[in-house]
Amino acid sequence: MKENVIILRYGELHLKGNNRAYFENVLLKNIKNSLKNYTFDLKKISGRYVISSFNQNEYNQIVEKLKKIFGLVSFSPAYELKTEIEQIENECKKIAKELNGSFRITTKRADKKFPIKSDEFSAHIGGIMLNENSNLKVDLHNPETNIIIEIRENGFTYILTKIIHAHGGMPVGTAGKGLLMLSGGIDSPVAGYMMAKRGLSLCAIHFHSFPYTSLQAKEKVLTLKEILEDYTGKIKLFVVPFTKIQEAIHINCYEEYMITIMRRIMLRIAEKIAKKYNCGAIITGESLGQVASQTLESITVTNSVVESLPIFRPLIGMDKTEIMNISNDIGTYETSILPYEDCCTVFLPKNPVIKPTIKKAKYEEDKIGNLDYLIEQAINNIEIIE
Ligand code: ATP
Ligand code: MG
């Protein structure tokens, strides 16, 4: 059997009414966008999409693309044929010839006009297959191959044996847009992936401190952005020159507070950019207690500079190993561990404060006389990478 279509199943079935139509439209757009370099037809059959007329040589590439589309729960390569008993029988004979070991037939009769009941039809087809290949045996409970025959209302029958799981979640773009604070590390790309999975489309912001940090560090961030884009669609990246601000912090502020203040300034800039580009949330890769700058006190002090946007921290309750596993699964890990310096490691204090206070942070920050000007300059010199 050569499967000639791919059936796509999508989730979040509790969605109702207009909402549901909206979600389906965005999902459809995302599928078309993700497969824009391939030729194919796409049609909708009650609660599923069917992709057909694609080039068989591109099947594997298409499947890899489909695996990364949020909102899809699973998909199956399938054989599509007109609902005619003789045709189904013939197709199953072909399958029988190529099959080994134990099997069962599972008929799902959505089309009640089809004259034979599901179980009866399964038994009938099973018998035909056994006749065709005497090495086969039926095992209803633990078969090596479950052959599913779906008889749909649209006059077509689908025969399939494989269910490939996808990521689930919501179609990207259905939940608005978020600004991901993207470092070159392991955590922030995972955070972006997780929020995109809940339907946010992404912009990203990266702070770099050239020449203290290398151009390779920036290249690394570009690579991470590209890997994420397979899941999220296009990400507009803002690269903020952060060197002068870091120097000013280094010269003026108490060493233990340097990271706290750096984070506060990053968040201020992020909020301004988020608002300018219609992002409704800021996303970070913070995880509670992971490092000194991510204690409850540190998060309180940095969080307090953001005036009116929520900060999403999808990794807040996760262990590093859990985060690394996701990073591996989504394909960002190998890039994230490349050894290029991040701006956080420049002028790193020996003992960063673990329990900062807002009062002390403000006091230290005020020592930078021209902070507003430096922020404005940094924003004016942002490089935008589409
Ligand atoms: P990551 O692996 O994402 O770098 P981390 O464990 O190294 O995280 P920190 O370096 O303390 O943690 O950074 C916490 C969060 O702050 C990051 O997850 C990221 O969202 C943001 N961040 C840190 N550095 C940068 C940067 N240079 N540009 C943009 N965002 C950053
Ligand atoms: Mg980091």
Query: Quick one: pLDDT at residue 289?
Result: 86
Distance CA 190, CA 328 (A): 10
Q: Are residues 380 and 232 in the same domain?
A: yes
Q: Which of 15-19, 192-196, 323-327, 353-357 has the lowest mean pLDDT?
A: 15-19
* Within a domain: 172: no
21 Cα distance to chain centroid: 22
Whether 84 is covered by a domain: the verdict is yes
Q: Residue 251 and residue 238: Cα distance in Å, rounded?
A: 26
pTM for this predicted structure: 0.90
Q: What is the pLDDT of residue 219?
A: 92
**CA of residue 165 to ligand 2 center, whole Å:** 31
Residue 171 domain-assigned (yes or no)? no
Find tokens 């890899």 and name the residue: 64
Residues 6+ apart with CB under 8 A from 12: 23, 71, 170
Q: Is the CB of 343 under 6 A from ligand 1?
A: yes
CB 88 within 8 A of CB 79: no
- b (16+ CB within 10 A) / e for 134-148: eebeeeeeebebbbb
Give the ligand with the smallest distance to the CA of 332: 1
Q: How far is the CA of 267 from the centre of ligand 2 (A)?
A: 15
Residues 90-117: tens digit of each pLDDT: 999 999 999 999 999 999 999 989 999 9
What is the number of structural domains in the chain? 2
Computed on alpha carbons and rounded to an integer, the radius of gyration of the chain in Å comes to: 27
DSSP, res 58: G
Quick check: is 119 in a domain?
A: yes
**pLDDT higher for 239 or 2?**
239
For 29, the 3-state DSSP assignment is helix
DSSP 144: S
For residue 282 the two structure tokens come to: 């800021």
Same domain for 127 and 221? no
CATH code (residue 134): 3.30.2130.30
- 55/202 same-domain check: no
**Among the three residues 165, 196, 219, which one is the final residue of a domain in this structure?**
165
Residue 234 lies in a domain: yes
- Residue 182 CB less than 6 A away from ligand 1: yes
pLDDT classification of 233: cutoffs 50, 70, 90: very high
Q: Is the CB of 286 under 6 A from ligand 1?
A: yes
Q: Is 278 helix (H, G, I), strand (E, B) or coil?
A: coil
- Ligand 1 near 195 CB (within 6 A): no
Task: Tell me: do 328 and 197 sit in the same domain.
Answer: yes
pLDDT tens per residue, range 21-64: 888 899 999 999 999 999 999 998 877 899 999 999 999 999 99
The residue nearest atom 16 of ligand 1, judged by CA position, is 284
Q: Whose CA is nearest to atom 30 of ligand 1?
A: 181
Q: Over 50: is that where the pLDDT of 292 sits? A: yes
Task: Say yes or no: 105 and 253 in one domain.
Answer: no
pLDDT in tens, 242-269: 999 999 999 999 999 999 999 999 999 9
> Does ligand 1 come within 6 angstroms of the Cβ of 243?
no
Average pLDDT across the chain, whole number: 92
Distance (angstroms) between ligand 1 centre and the Cα of 187 equals 7
Roughly what angle, to the nearest 10 degrees, separates helices 118-132 and 85-98? 50
d(CA 309, CA 318): 23
Mean pLDDT across 359-378: 95
Same domain, 144 and 212: no
Residue 170 lies in a domain: no
Cβ neighbourhood burial of 172 (10 Å; 0-12, 13-18, 19+): buried
- Residue where a domain stops, chosen among 132, 165, 198: 165
Distance from residue 187's CA to the centre of ligand 2 (Å): 7
CA of 211 to the centre of ligand 1 (A): 19
Tokens of 386: 């589409």
Give the C-alpha separation, 225 to 90, whole Å: 48
Q: How confident is the model at residue 293 (pLDDT cuts 50, 70, 90)?
A: confident
Share of the chain above pLDDT 70, in %: 97
Q: How far apart are CA 362 and CA 359, in angstroms?
A: 5
N-to-C CA span, the chain: 43
Res 314: pLDDT: 98
153 vs 191: which has the higher pLDDT = 191
Could you say which of 165, 185, 210 is where a domain stops? 165
Q: Is residue 27 part of a domain?
A: yes
| pLDDT over threshold 90, residue 284 | yes
pLDDT computed for residue 364 by the predictor: 93
Same domain, 97 and 208: no
Please, which residues bridge with residue 106 across strands? 148
How high is the pLDDT of residue 1?
Answer: 47
The DSSP line for 77-101 is EEEEEES-HHHHHHHHHHHHHH--S
CA quadruple 249, 253, 256, 259: dihedral, nearest 10: -30
Residue whose Cα lies nearest atom 10 of ligand 1: it is: 344
Per-residue confidence (pLDDT) for residue 14, from 0 to 100: 63
Burial of 308 (0-12, 13-18, 19+ CB in 10 A): exposed
Phi, psi of 23 (to 5 degrees): -60, -40
Question: Which residue has tokens 């300059």?
Answer: 377
Domain range for 92: 5-165
| Residue 153 shares a structural domain with residue 11 | yes
Higher pLDDT, 310 or 12: 310
- The reply to whether 380 and 253 lie within a common domain is yes
pLDDT of residue 15: 67
Distance of alpha carbon 77 from alpha carbon 62, whole angstroms: 11
232 in the same domain as 155: no
Please tell me the number of the ligand nearest to residue 182's CA: 1
HEC secondary structure over 164-200: EECCCCECCCCCCEEEEECCCCCHHHHHHHHHHHECC
- Interhelix angle 187-197/215-232, rounded to 10 degrees, is 20
160 and 211 in a single domain? The answer is no
pLDDT level of residue 333 (50, 70, 90 thresholds): very high
Confidence of residue 19 (pLDDT cuts 50, 70, 90): confident
Are 135 and 220 in the same domain? no
Ligand 1 lined by 206 (C-beta under 6 Å): yes
Q: What is the residue with the minimal CA distance to atom 14 of ligand 1?
A: 286
CATH number, domain of 373, equals 3.40.50.620
Rounded to the nearest angstrom, the distance between the alpha carbon of 183 and the centre of ligand 2 is 6
pLDDT digits (tens, 9 = 90+) for 162-210: 999 999 999 999 999 999 999 999 999 999 999 999 999 999 999 998 8
